[in-house]
Structure 1
């Protein structure tokens, strides 16, 4: 029985690694540093014991916003939800990422496009769906973006660029919550400003998380 259990765990780890490897190929962007790429590639060789370790650490203050591997893992698990198997996932309205490992996201219903469901990621697992109450005035189509165009690893780039600027501003603090809003089928990153004890700056990011503009207000 023990040998059979070990075999099943090995198969699970093997399939997970292959899936993560595929996601890495789809995720790596030219703007990533060599270190970032190596970190993502290393996720493909994750063992079962390492995976359990990741799950155990999530939910604590672990620097999730800059952790490309765990962000990628969260995206892979979202894509693996059975209701979305073989279907394009569309993100609705907004997504919130927290440094303690939590994610809040709204997705268009996989069958009825007029519906929206809420999901939460915490301690390495997705929970949901929970139905979103919509008004007849809500324009769902206007606030949708394909998940394939909104990769979770972009959060790590936003975090890195934000913190690099904040480091040079007296009194400014590192970011602990990053969220994006979707309007006219476009993504806008937040926070869009950095406040110090003496100065305040506006900051904007491109869709992939690279710095778009930075100026003092």
Structure 2
């Protein structure tokens, strides 16, 4: 973490740059240094020098108004902001940031960014001021999506090489789900007892240990793994999303799955819903388009 004074200076600098207006810049300066700037402005408007001497042609009786200072406002993005309120909120923000810094936690940087954005939102200022500030561990947003074709093939190959299925055919039960976070969930018929079904999860490049599950209609809901290719899941998503681009209001998908019934497999999703139309979409076992029609 940077020195707190340097951090505060960066926050103020960001506010000045994003406002992009000299008048706003001056107002923000009044926010963080209200006593000096307001006093100077008051003295100038009422013809007083830096030492309190009167500089106008005619000296009149003038009284400093605390109420006038408290009612000082500025306009930011068309919104009127009370400067004493801004000063108070800025003080509270800095106190919160100091507490977060004392935690000495890698997640503190993210919490500090949220706190600053909250202040900027309350003050009707543009948000995102901490994106350009270096931190010990930069925040990285991970883009979600199913695994690439090569990674899907690797997952399939590792599944076939599980020790318990060595030299045995593997039968998938009920479904296979390819999720947008790169994980894969499926169930397999037990390698020794065909009346049992085990669930497996693929995550971070490895398959989990088997977990027993309750199962029904096993004989009708199994399909050979040898006739399924995981990489075809990407074909399904690409074709599906290409069709959504042609339909008003339709939303793309980032996951796909297989369902098994009567010893047959089917790719899904199988419907596309738009704001005005609904379509049925079917795929061949290899992930290519089989049919596409409006319902």
Q: How high is the TM-score relative to the length of structure 2?
A: 0.50
Q: Give unpaired runs (5+ residues) of structure 1.
A: 1-59
Residues 99-143 of structure 1: per-residue CA shift (max 9 Å, x gap) = 210111000001111110000111111112000113xxx221111
**Could you say which residue in structure 1 is the equivalent of 2:169?**
88
**Could you say which residue in structure 2 is the equivalent of 1:104?**
185
Contact (CA 8 Å) 2:189, 2:198: kept in 1 or not?
Answer: yes
Which residues of 2 match residues 87-166 of structure 1 at below 5 A? 87-134=168-215, 138-166=216-244
Which residues of 2 match residues 1-217 of structure 1 at below 5 A? 61-64=143-146, 67-134=148-215, 138-217=216-295
Supply the distance in 2 between the matched residues of 1:86 and 1:62 (Cα, whole angstroms). 36
Match of 1:128, SS state, is coil
CA RMSD, 1 decimal: 1.4
Larger radius of gyration: 2
Match of 2:241, SS state, is helix
Q: How high is the TM-score relative to the length of structure 1?
A: 0.67
Supply the distance in 2 between the matched residues of 1:128 and 1:106 (Cα, whole angstroms). 12
Q: If each structure's strand is expressed as a fraction of its own residues, which one has the higher value?
A: 1
* Shift in Å, 1:215: 0.8
Task: Please identify runs of 4+ aligned residues in structure 1 that moved more than 6 A.
Answer: none
Supply the distance in 2 between the matched residues of 1:174 and 1:61 (Cα, whole angstroms). 15
Contact (CA 8 Å) 2:179, 2:255: kept in 1 or not?
Answer: yes
* Shift in Å, 1:64: 1.8
**Could you say which residue in structure 1 is the equivalent of 2:47?**
none
* Shift in Å, 1:62: 4.0
Match of 2:275, SS state, is coil
Supply the distance in 2 between the matched residues of 1:96 and 1:68 (Cα, whole angstroms). 15
Between the two proteins, the alignment pairs up a number of residues equal to: 154
* Shift in Å, 1:197: 2.1
Residues 28-67 of structure 1: per-residue CA shift (max 9 Å, x gap) = xxxxxxxxxxxxxxxxxxxxxxxxxxxxxxxx544325x2
Supply the distance in 1 between the matched residues of 2:186 and 2:150 (Cα, whole angstroms). 19
Supply the distance in 2 between the matched residues of 1:148 and 1:80 (Cα, whole angstroms). 12
Supply the distance in 1 between the matched residues of 2:166 and 2:144 (Cα, whole angstroms). 30
* Shift in Å, 1:93: 0.7
* Shift in Å, 1:85: 1.4
Residues 52-101 of structure 1: per-residue CA shift (max 9 Å, x gap) = xxxxxxxx544325x21111111011112111111111100111111210
Match of 1:188, SS state, is strand
Larger RCO (alpha carbons 8 Å, 6+ apart): 1
